[in-house]
Amino acid sequence: MNKHIGFDAIVVGAGLAGSAAALVMAREGLNVALVERGQKPGSKNYFGGAIYTHAIAEVLPDFMERKPKFERPVTEAGFWFLAEDGLTKMVTQGGKLNAEPADAYTALRADFDLWWAAQAQAAGALLIPKTTVVDFIRAAGGAVVGVMTDRPEGEIYAPVVIISEGVNNLLTQKLGLIDHDLEPAHQALAFKQVISLPAKEINARFGLPDANHGVAASVLGDVSLGLPGMGFIYTNKKTISVGLGVMLDTLAEYQLRPYEVLQRYLEHPAIAPLVAGGQLLEYGGHLIPEGGWHDMPQLYTDGAMVVGDAATMVNALHWEGTNMAIISGKLAAETALEAHQQSDFSVRTLAGYEARLKEGFILKDMKQYRRFSRFLETHPEFMGTYPAFLNDALGGFFSAYGKPKRQLFTEIYQSLTGRRSLFQAAGDMLSMGRAVLGW
């Protein structure tokens, strides 16, 4: 690589945030380097998951015409509450059946990220794959003016760098934007399998009329042995993505082996028939930064901004991360464009990135959910006690015992109070309200 190669902007990481940032800047005529450590975009990336179209449309309004690499539209979404011997579903198709484009699509990142980065390349960004950024080049006053890569003579110069390195925020730390590693209690290790089945079989098992319908479910309860964590199941065209995330400290404390927890989930009597006979195509794991608001780094410094997972922009309850990554990438790119117009790459201009984030939903949501990760730590009942109670209570309600109904209701009441006193249950609900509504 040429020693003094110079660009108008460098983006580190061709994930969702990075390619969005590169696309927005390149489209406006900036000379952008998009540096990705993987063989190609997506080769290192892993998620559940579903991608939200509102975010893609904000960056690329005509995205549907560009044949995005989606799997199925999400036409049914919700929570599945798993007990040891049963499953209660709270799912909705509300507003989802005829939406065009759908609000969310399931996707496989190896395909989607490649397509997403190709949109940035089509806009003029130069993708530099198989290249890891290892450090920054700083001016005398400390401003970032480029990056050092792992290639021989691999310095690349630009007056502004967007750091979209994902959850392993080594560069963000190197720049002093955050002064600590994310704590194990603030990171989930998520692991999943992609299981191949004929589309017809997937449709039949999930009650879907055809491959233009799909399910996205968050699974709570026995999936994580009632410990802080959450499972998921997504239907793709000819595969099912199924997995779960468990907090790192919980895995260590209970000495759980991720593959054993996942295997146990797959063998659950309500889950096993959904994946039975399928062929395992992929198995992998990835961290999710769940510390939220309190773990967010400083978002900008002279010559650099941090976006997406690197800035812990994830809402664990709603499985939102892709949309925050894409939108934060776009907002950082718009700030970089403004910096070019003003020829000022200092914090004076780059502070505009945080101001833009404050105007939209990202920082508002991050602040509102600021207690959520602590809530998960302190209220494992929502992962164990309540899903089990819900299954008992509804299972009982929809059974005929040949007993007076008053006795049934007494038993349901006792099934709750045997687990949590009414006082504790009221406190739990209040804590959940505070964690979700941000009171």
Q: Which of 189, 184, 195 is nearest to 286 (CA)?
A: 189
Residue with tokens 């699509």: 105
Nearer to ligand FAD, 119 or 385 (CB): 119
Number of residues that bind ligand FAD (CB under 6 A): 40
Residue with tokens 């101001």: 355
Dist CA 435 CA 376 (whole Å): 9
Dist CA 183 CA 177 (whole Å): 16
Nearer to ligand FAD, 112 or 389 (CB): 112
Interaction mask 4-23, ligand FAD, x per CB under 6 A: --------xxxxxxx-----
Classify residue 295 by its DSSP letter.
G
Give CB contacts under 8 A, 24+ apart, made by 62-66. Answer: 63/101, 63/119, 64/101, 66/115, 66/119
- Based on the shown chain and the rule CB under 6 A, indicate whether residue 320 belongs to the binding site for ligand FAD: yes
CA angle 381, 386, 388 (to 5 degrees): 115
- Based on the shown chain and the rule CB under 6 A, indicate whether residue 77 belongs to the binding site for ligand FAD: no
The residue within the footprint of ligand FAD, chosen from 21, 30, 48, 127 (CB under 6 A), is 48
Nearer to ligand FAD, 50 or 208 (CB): 50
Dist CA 350 CA 202 (whole Å): 48
Neighbouring CB atoms inside 10 A of 94's CB total 9
Shortest gap between Cβ of 240 and ligand FAD (angstroms)? Answer: 14
- Based on the shown chain and the rule CB under 6 A, indicate whether residue 214 belongs to the binding site for ligand FAD: no
CB distance 59 to 20 below 8 Å: yes
The residue within the footprint of ligand FAD, chosen from 300, 319, 345, 375 (CB under 6 A), is 319
279: amino acid identity, one letter: Q
The residue within the footprint of ligand FAD, chosen from 192, 213, 268, 379 (CB under 6 A), is 192
Stretch that binds ligand FAD, among 265-273, 290-298, 304-312, 347-355 (CB under 6 A): 304-312
Shortest gap between Cβ of 175 and ligand FAD (angstroms)? Answer: 12
Shortest gap between Cβ of 326 and ligand FAD (angstroms)? Answer: 8
Stretch that binds ligand FAD, among 47-55, 84-92, 332-340, 364-372 (CB under 6 A): 47-55
The residue within the footprint of ligand FAD, chosen from 203, 235, 250, 322 (CB under 6 A), is 322
Stretch that binds ligand FAD, among 35-43, 250-258, 400-408, 411-419 (CB under 6 A): 35-43
> What DSSP line would sit under 236-251, residue for residue?
-SSEEEEEEEEEHHHH
Stretch that binds ligand FAD, among 56-64, 91-99, 322-330, 351-359 (CB under 6 A): 322-330
The residue within the footprint of ligand FAD, chosen from 7, 46, 136, 372 (CB under 6 A), is 46
The residue within the footprint of ligand FAD, chosen from 49, 154, 226, 278 (CB under 6 A), is 49
Q: How many CA atoms lie within 13 A of 206 on its CB side?
A: 33
- Based on the shown chain and the rule CB under 6 A, indicate whether residue 308 belongs to the binding site for ligand FAD: yes
Dist CA 299 CA 364 (whole Å): 15
- Based on the shown chain and the rule CB under 6 A, indicate whether residue 330 belongs to the binding site for ligand FAD: no
73: amino acid identity, one letter: P
Shortest gap between Cβ of 86 and ligand FAD (angstroms)? Answer: 25
- Based on the shown chain and the rule CB under 6 A, indicate whether residue 262 belongs to the binding site for ligand FAD: no
Q: Which of 236, 293, 223, 217 is nearest to 72 (CA)?
A: 236
- Based on the shown chain and the rule CB under 6 A, indicate whether residue 37 belongs to the binding site for ligand FAD: yes
What residues contact 301, with CB distance under 8 A and at least 6 apart? 143, 144, 175, 176, 177, 347, 350
Stretch that binds ligand FAD, among 84-92, 198-206, 306-314, 353-361 (CB under 6 A): 306-314
The residue within the footprint of ligand FAD, chosen from 27, 72, 268, 286 (CB under 6 A), is 286
439: amino acid identity, one letter: W
Q: Which of 188, 322, 285 is nearest to 245 (CA)?
A: 188
Interaction mask 138-167, ligand FAD, x per CB under 6 A: --------------------------xxx-
- Based on the shown chain and the rule CB under 6 A, indicate whether residue 265 belongs to the binding site for ligand FAD: no
The residue within the footprint of ligand FAD, chosen from 302, 309, 365, 381 (CB under 6 A), is 309
Q: What radius of gyration, in Å, describes the C-alpha atoms of the chain?
A: 23
- Based on the shown chain and the rule CB under 6 A, indicate whether residue 387 belongs to the binding site for ligand FAD: no
Stretch that binds ligand FAD, among 34-42, 82-90, 135-143, 372-380 (CB under 6 A): 34-42
Shortest gap between Cβ of 76 and ligand FAD (angstroms)? Answer: 14
Residues 52-74 as b/e (b if ≥16 CB within 10 A, e otherwise) read bbebbebbbeebeeeebbbbbbb
CB distance 45 to 110 below 8 Å: yes
Residues that bind ligand FAD (CB under 6 A): 12-18, 35-38, 44-50, 132-133, 164-166, 171, 190, 192, 243, 245, 286, 288, 308-310, 314, 319-323, 325
